[in-house]
Structure 1
């Protein structure tokens, strides 16, 4: 597998779509720790589509089960848009549900990858690199952001107290 340099990560822009604010914040921290150049946010599929039309990105990471517009509805809308460049935006769909039929639905709708929660930095990094390789956009790199650098970045991030519901705590703990 190709390894992206800090500079290559810095050139990538992301949109995270999830209806749970804590998950959005965690994904943002994870992507920034990997070196992402920018991370935009959306709370559902419609917000994600609106944001993409205003500000296209290199990758979308979308939750599957959002309301009022789900990740699957968003994905179908994105893939059917008349803007071909936008329609080709890679999408990694994440979900607390890991059944094979859910994964098959996502891939059939045009998802580039499917991951179950909880998502770990190494897992998302692997999926991003695999997608770049499949598109012919990733070249072998000499430099690699070490786990020590990523950990230091996350460890030095400002910690803000957050209130979450029991269901969100369960998702974060990976028990959903």
Structure 2
């Protein structure tokens, strides 16, 4: 799990309990940089300010929903930022949102409620293969 120590992760999640849980899980794994946004606009602002290796986005958030944030990321002028892995949190089933995920270019899905193992497993899949510097 050493690759997580070099990772920079943006999490867009409006639920305070989930924010605390995600922060606890990722700090336990010694993530280098963790930024948590509470709504879609804040997620976009943080995305523009920072350099991230992966983005985790809740589908249902205030201001802009997760799909809107993902569309914004995929339309970014910077090719590096535009190609960042995007993982969506949702209580919906994967099959309910698969078409929209595919159309936008969302990489993967983390079902809510999530377990630490599921979250770390998804991050491992997208960060371990990436050259994080």
TM-score between both structures, scaled by the size of structure 2: 0.89
Distance in 1 between the 2:19 and 2:84 partners? 19
Residue aligning to 1:31: 26
- Displacement, 1:53? 0.8
Larger radius of gyration: 1
User: CA RMSD, aligned part only?
Assistant: 1.6
**TM-score with structure 1 setting the length:** 0.69
Q: Which residue of 2 aligns with 1:20?
A: 15
Q: Quick check: 1:32–1:38 contact (8 Å CA) kept in 2?
A: no
Report how far residue 99 of structure 1 moved: 4.6
* Alignment check: 8 A CA contact 1:16 1:28 kept: no
The number of equivalent residue pairs is 131
What is aligned with 1:158? none
Structure 1 runs (4+) deviating above 3 angstroms are none
Deviation string, structure 1 residues 116-169 (Cα, Å, up to 9, x no partner) = 101111111111122235xx427xxxxxxxxxxxxxxxxxxxxxxxxxxxxxxx
51, 56, 61: which one aligns with 1:56: 51
Map 1:1-176 onto structure 2 (within 5 A). Answer: 4-5=1-2, 8-132=3-127, 136-137=129-130
Q: Mark the runs of 5 or more structure 1 residues left unpaired by the alignment.
A: 139-176
Gaps of 5+ in 2: none
The structure where strand makes up a greater share of residues is: 2
Q: Distance in 1 between matches of 2:130 and 2:46?
A: 24
Whether the 8 Å contact between 2:7 and 2:127 is mirrored in structure 1 is no
